[in-house]
Chains A and B, each alone.
Chain A
Amino acid sequence: MLFNSFEFLIFFPIVTALYFLLPHRFRWFMLLIASVIFYMAFIPWYILILLITILIDYSAGIFIERSGGKKKKTLLVVSIISTCTVLFVFKYFNFFGTNLNVLSNFIGWNYSIGTLKLILPIGLSFHTFQSLSYVIEVYRGHQKAEYHFGIYALYVMFYPQLVAGPIERPQNLLHQFYEKHDFDYKRVTDGLKLMLWGLFKKIVIADRLAVFVSQVYNNPTGFEGISLITATVFFAFQIYCDFSGYSDIGIGAAQVMGFKLMDNFKRPYFSKSISEFWKRWHISLSTWFRDYFYFSIGGNRVSIPRWYFNLFATFLLSGFWHGANWTFIFWGALHGFYLIFGIMTSKIRTAIAGSIYIDRFPAIYKLVRVSLTFILVSFAWIFFRVNNISDAFYIITHLHIGVIRFTINLFSNLTAPSSGKLAPFLLGQHREEFFIAIVALGFMEFVHSIQRHGSIRHMLSGRPIWFRWSIYYILIFAILFFGVFSKTPFIYFQF
């Protein structure tokens, strides 16, 4: 079930009402059933795959807690391998098979491996990682094993974060299922406001930008220069609005019922460096890799070359987590390279900033750093969005074509009619569509700039009711009038 669907519009109020109407002891069961229904709306029988993962890690948690020494470690390894096998079969088998075939042909071996015709279960990477975090935390002694099978199943399946995160930690979520959440007006309305904001980002911005982006990225060879740059920048915002929109709706839906999920995004495009970007983008995943992979292989408490290796390996794995395709591996590798290069050149960059005195103008210095980080991140998104590596190389090698000529033309005759000038930005779409997208983006960035000074919901709460309600109506009617209701799935569902 998609958050941006009519079905969810019915599902959510019913589940929420039932949650508050039922006695506390029945709530977990109702939420579990609701989550099962939510998941089965995609491909019903895939619930069995989820059940296997749940059974493996539920049992593993209990056995790990009861064991010690080598046996404990063996159980952890067995549990991780078992859980990851499901992920491998559905997500990575064909990738490995295809590449193995290519390799065997290349070296002249007569070897061939078949492909599996399987549809990737929705959100498999998310709930696999959530399950893994449970067994690892139990192994590390940070979390007691959960003996209540229903509650554990709910931990993995809790519908607001089931298919696209945030990837929760057991310490944060499990105990909340035992706590009684009364109806709290402020909390409920705050949750609803967050959901509204998420819907706005998804339906008005992301799905509108998707039309522009698809036009170019589905056939990049038909475009060059400004059009490729526009599509790439639009994709940067599309993926942010799509994914953070999903997170906001999920976190908001959980908040309405009294659950606090972790933040997943903190205005990432305002980051001044790539390392800061990763502290603000998909936080639940980046902290997962940090806590369970990067630290496990030594983190930065090793020699410098090894530290660089650890960083690179973490981002390579993060790229691979996103998809079984070389494009994602390149994307991860590029971010790994950015980070290592950033660390290596940190002192030089600071010295350059000092020598040209830009650091004496903090606002300008910050703007430059934020802009450069955004450019680097957007450049990396090319690999994330393309259908194959050759498309990526076409785009990269054609980004610059005609840009100077276009810029000169743009400014040489400012009084000329603007429709022709705008053509490379429009990507074959109507001018009105373009302006709606730009205005909506501008509005979002305006809200983001206010959020730098604190929670916008907190700020709004001090304003008169007519003001607050006007804002909510504007958002609702913007969704109704300018939303794209094509039920476009959230990008991260594919992971």
Chain B
Amino acid sequence: MSIDVKKFIIRGLIFATPIALFFGISFYVLFTSSELESWDSIVQKWMSDDPVQVGMVYSTLPRYLKLASVLARKPDIIVMGSSRSNQVRAGFFKKPDKFYNAQIGGSTIEDYGIFLNKIPTDSQPKVILLGLHPEFFDNSCRSADTKTIEEEYSQKFGQSGSFKAWEYGYKQLYLDYFGGKFKLKDLSKLGNDSGKIGLNAILHNAGYRNDGSYFDGRVMADLLSHPRNDSYKDTFKNQFFSNEIKQTCPDNHAYAINQVSEFLKNSSSRNIYVIGFMPPLASIINKTIGVDKKYGYIKNLDSDLKPLFEKYKFGFYNFVDFSKLDPEDKEMIDPTHGSEKTMLRVIISMLRDNQTLKRYTDINYLNNLLKSSKNNFFVFEN
């Protein structure tokens, strides 16, 4: 070996050490936090009886995972919708293993059609609970890039998420650390709990449960330890109205209505029964927007959507005004997200006149669940 080669190797190794450390540390954290867990393995773990919480930070997982889970589980009844539908639990139904909450946080109106088309008829559900988030009917909230959505569902199918997570996560991890999103001491929690997949699950007890519903441990712990006083009204208003762009809508929402119409037509042709519901808004917000013309479209949605569902003899329920069931918003997590208990009330309300839904659950059982709940937010221990 020539002197030049030796010099190159020695200097190269010394030079590469900080870079190797840079990658090594991030690899260690991502690996031990299961951020590099393959997606197919996650789907399998979710199907086991052991509770598994998936809160990954460095992968755009939900679209793929939710669809892959539906295909693997072949549930009879699924929930589709945004984060406002994420508290519908498998325990609400007679056969929990035949239910799956396929809601996707940050989803768009286009998700419905794409998601349904990806499910082959032999894996399709019998009933879809379709959460119709008012934002979906707001032009400014619409995704312009259906191609990306399609890719998130299909291109990564069958591939391991590991490399994608690594590609994105190795630097983002450092940026998050320097941004104060976690501390070094937090990393001592890594590898302690095999039921936690992903840094969010490990560090913040936040992630998707086996049944597809979502649990955010940080938020819930805070809500439980700080009982609400009247100041919550201002907080809710601030939270809702500060997101001005996404909460106001031009009158023209024909595109979104058409998307729903197409979805219902498709579902009907595939003999899938759809129950549409507009998730609850906090009563204080509903009262406020009731006098603001800008939000008139939320009221109009009811008359726009109802005929679409009636056409196919599907069910449709509007829970935007939830003031009769929760007048003081005790059970709302925030202005737009109802808790597990809120969603139990939603299901009970629908059960009163929906014969199809009655095949999958029992109103007395649900009422008992409601009565036995130990606090304002949860029905189940886990």
**A residues in contact (CB < 8 Å) with B:** 6, 20, 182-185, 188-189, 469, 472-473, 476-477, 480-481, 485
Contact status A185-B4, CB under 8 Å: yes
Contact status B167-A188, CB under 8 Å: no
Contact status A189-B8, CB under 8 Å: yes
User: Which listed segment binds A: B15-23, B205-213, B358-366?
Assistant: B15-23
In the assembled complex, B311 has its CB within 8 A of some CB on chain A: no
Contact status A480-B22, CB under 8 Å: yes
Residues of A contacting B167 with CB < 8 Å? 6, 485
Q: What CA separation (Å) do A246 and B2 show in the bound complex?
A: 31
B148 to chain A: closest CB distance in Å?
12
Known: A480-B171, A481-B171, A485-B167. A183 touches B8 (CB 8 A): yes
Q: What CA separation (Å) do A6 and B2 show in the bound complex?
A: 30
Residues of A contacting B291 with CB < 8 Å? none
In the assembled complex, B221 has its CB within 8 A of some CB on chain A: no
Residues of A contacting B18 with CB < 8 Å? 473
Majority secondary structure, B binding face? helix
Mark contacts of B165-196 with chain A using CB atoms, 8 A cut-off: 1 yes-contact digit, 0 otherwise.
00100110011000000000000000000000
Of residues A185, A473, A476, which shows the largest number of chain B Cβ atoms within 10 Å of its Cβ? Answer: A185
Q: Which residue of A lies closest to B166 (CB)?
A: A6
Contact status B8-A476, CB under 8 Å: no
- Beyond A183-B8, A473-B18, A485-B167: 11 further Cβ-contacts under 8 Å? A182-B2, A183-B2, A185-B4, A188-B8, A469-B15, A472-B15, A477-B22, A480-B22, A481-B171, A481-B174, A481-B175
Residues of B contacting A481 with CB < 8 Å? 171, 174-175
Q: Which residue of A lies closest to B4 (CB)?
A: A185
In the assembled complex, B293 has its CB within 8 A of some CB on chain A: no
Q: What CA separation (Å) do A84 and B69 show in the bound complex?
A: 54
Q: Which residue of B lies closest to A20 (CB)?
A: B5
A30 to chain B: closest CB distance in Å?
18
Residues of A contacting B352 with CB < 8 Å? none
Contact status B8-A185, CB under 8 Å: yes
Q: Which residue of A lies closest to B2 (CB)?
A: A183
Could you show 5 A-B contacts with beta carbons less than 8 Å apart?
A183-B8, A473-B18, A477-B22, A480-B170, A480-B171
B205 to chain A: closest CB distance in Å?
29
Q: Which residue of A lies closest to B172 (CB)?
A: A481
Residues of A contacting B147 with CB < 8 Å? none
Known: A481-B171, A481-B175, A485-B167. A476 touches B19 (CB 8 A): yes
Q: What CA separation (Å) do A472 and B19 show in the bound complex?
A: 11
Q: What CA separation (Å) do A476 and B21 show in the bound complex?
A: 14
In the assembled complex, B324 has its CB within 8 A of some CB on chain A: no
A217 to chain B: closest CB distance in Å?
16
Q: Which residue of A lies closest to B1 (CB)?
A: A183
In the assembled complex, B7 has its CB within 8 A of some CB on chain A: yes
Query: Which 6 residue pairs spanning A and B have beta carbons closest together?
Result: A185-B4, A183-B5, A183-B4, A185-B7, A481-B171, A185-B8
Residues of B contacting A472 with CB < 8 Å? 15
Q: What CA separation (Å) do A481 and B177 show in the bound complex?
A: 13
Q: Which residue of A lies closest to B167 (CB)?
A: A485
B336 to chain A: closest CB distance in Å?
25
Q: What CA separation (Å) do A189 and B8 show in the bound complex?
A: 8
Mark contacts of B120-159 with chain A using CB atoms, 8 A cut-off: 1 yes-contact digit, 0 otherwise.
0000000000000000000000000000000000000000
Q: Which residue of B lies closest to A481 (CB)?
A: B171
Q: What CA separation (Å) do A6 and B8 show in the bound complex?
A: 23
Q: What CA separation (Å) do A185 and B12 show in the bound complex?
A: 11
Q: What CA separation (Å) do A472 and B167 show in the bound complex?
A: 22
A216 to chain B: closest CB distance in Å?
16
Q: Which residue of B lies closest to A469 (CB)?
A: B15
Q: Which residue of B lies closest to A184 (CB)?
A: B4
Q: What CA separation (Å) do A185 and B4 show in the bound complex?
A: 5
Residues of A contacting B170 with CB < 8 Å? 480
B98 to chain A: closest CB distance in Å?
41
Residues of A contacting B8 with CB < 8 Å? 183, 185, 188-189
Q: Which residue of B lies closest to A185 (CB)?
A: B4
